[in-house]
């Protein structure tokens, strides 16, 4: 995982405005995987700790690793606010060294940043024999309740480079191809919720390719364009969305 300094400017928006994982998402995974409460979890590219904190009630101990120091700081604050014990390591997972093995390894919105050549052998060492790797994602799904989603995405993408967008389209099955890990389950949860104009602007600013640092002096124009495309769909500044939270489960 390469150091990504431009994520520093997204931190204040990331934990507050990114598409959330519904609480039921963690409960369903715990039930499906028959978690017993003593498992050790490693969250790779933990960001502000959304996955590690979400799984905390169902496991024994969690460790988060992230190359962005500001994300580690945000995860520490979030864990303290949630009353969760979370060990945090600032650094790249490719350089992570431990004699421990983990029952669960979670990778959220980070698979596309990992160096596959270096990370796959490391996962072989880190994941216990009966352990599982969870590739997790929460995103807004196209739905009759969210006709604003495509125009919103189109505007945001118009401000990003095409090559930059390609990076995010990583297929997990392809990533794990010819390794000792194979997909064994897919778990998904849908949740309908309300979201405000301000939250959706903040969500756009939480993305690395439309971060405040990357936008620079163009930020005000970017925010204005996002707001303009959303306003026709809003009622008193509020819109509706459907969140699709997914976990692809890989095991030996």
* Number of separate domains in the chain: 1
| Residue 168 vs residue 180, higher pLDDT | 180
233's tokens: 């769909």
Q: What is the CATH number of the domain that holds 16?
A: 3.40.50.150
Q: Is the pLDDT of residue 42 over 50?
A: yes
Write down the pLDDT at residue 1: 45
What are the φ and ψ backbone dihedral angles of 212, each rounded to 5 degrees? -55, -40
For 65, half-sphere exposure in the C-beta direction (CA atoms, 13 angstrom radius) is 20
Which tens digit of pLDDT belongs to each residue from 10-30? 999 998 999 999 999 999 999
Q: Are strands 86-90 and 182-196 parallel, antiparallel or unpaired?
A: unpaired
Domain of residue 170 covers 5-251
What are the φ and ψ backbone dihedral angles of 133, each rounded to 5 degrees? -110, 130
pLDDT band at 6 (very low <50, low <70, confident <90, very high): low
CA distance 8 to 196: 24
């Amino acid at each position: 995982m390469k150091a990504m300094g431009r994520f520093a400017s997204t931190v204040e928006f990331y934990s507050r405005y990114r598409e959330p994982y519904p609480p039921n998402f963690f409960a369903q995974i715990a039930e499906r995987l028959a978690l017993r409460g003593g498992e050790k979890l490693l969250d790779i590219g933990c960001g502000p700790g959304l996955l590690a904190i979400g799984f905390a009630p169902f496991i024994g101990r969690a460790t988060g690793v992230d190359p962005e120091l500001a994300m580690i700081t945000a995860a520490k604050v979030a864990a303290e606010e949630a009353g969760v014990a979370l060990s945090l390591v600032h650094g790249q997972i490719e350089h992570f060294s431990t004699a421990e093995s983990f029952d669960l390894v979670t990778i959220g919105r980070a698979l596309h940043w990992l160096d596959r050549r270096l990370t796959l052998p490391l996962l072989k060492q880190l994941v216990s024999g009966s352990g599982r790797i969870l590739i997790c994602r929460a995103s807004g799904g196209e739905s009759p309740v969210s006709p604003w989603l495509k125009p919103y995405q189109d505007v945001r993408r118009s401000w990003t480079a095409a090559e930059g967008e390609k990076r995010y389209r990583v297929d997990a099955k392809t990533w794990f191809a010819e390794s000792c890990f194979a997909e064994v389950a897919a778990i998904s949860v849908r949740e309908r919720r309300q979201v405000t104009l301000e939250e959706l602007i903040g969500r756009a600013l939480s993305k690395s390719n439309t971060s405040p640092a990357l936008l620079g002096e163009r930020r005000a124009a970017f925010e204005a364009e996002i707001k303009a495309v959303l306003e026709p769909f809003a009622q008193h500044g509020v819109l509706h969305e459907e969140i699709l939270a997914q976990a692809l489960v890989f095991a030996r």
